[in-house]
Structure 1
Amino acid sequence: MDYYKFREKRSVTAEKMVKILQNHDTVISIEKAQKVLELIYKLSNLSVQETIKRLSDRNSTASRRRFTRHTKKKKGNENS
């Protein structure tokens, strides 16, 4: 799973996550914390990508509607 490693800086480390969970009476190993953090970062990146895709699809659809609405030929008017 090393091919999924991201190059951006991650502010939460596995050690930091273990300490946070210990404050809430949950014990977890560093290896499990690394796997959980990797999953969290993957899901957050997928969520951002999906949101950007939906926004771009919505904007392109709206612009196509505007374009086709203004260029439609009217029935019965052969000169236009």
Structure 2
Amino acid sequence: MQDKKRSITPQKAIEILNNHGTTVTFEEAKIILDFMYNFAILSVNQLVKNKYSNSDGSKKYS
């Protein structure tokens, strides 16, 4: 897990998942949160890349 401050703690993730019928350990919650944060970063990067690229791969803006 990264040392950056995050708004959702593993304990809060455990509570949220438990409220929806899923039981996870503290370590599993940390892994889930790491995955979600990394996936979010990749998604935003992909959106930005697509916004500033033409369909042929060339850049719209310099």
Note whether the superposition's TM-score is higher than 0.5: yes
TM-score, normalised on structure 1?
0.62
Equivalence map 1:61-76=2 (5 Å): none
Percent sequence identity over aligned pairs:
32
1:6 to partner: Cα distance: 6.3
- Gaps of at least 5 residues in structure 2 are none
TM-score, normalised on structure 2?
0.78
Query: Which structure's CA Rg is the greater one?
Result: 1
Describe the shift of the 1:27–1:19 C-alpha distance in structure 2 as closer, same or farther (beyond 3 A). Answer: same
- Gaps of at least 5 residues in structure 1 are 64-80
Whether 2:17 is the aligned partner of 1:21: answer yes
Bigger helix fraction: 1
1:53 to partner: Cα distance: 0.7
Q: How many residues align?
A: 57
Where relative contact order (Cα < 8 A, 6+ residues apart) is larger, the structure is: 2
Q: Which runs of 4+ in 1 moved over 6 A?
A: none
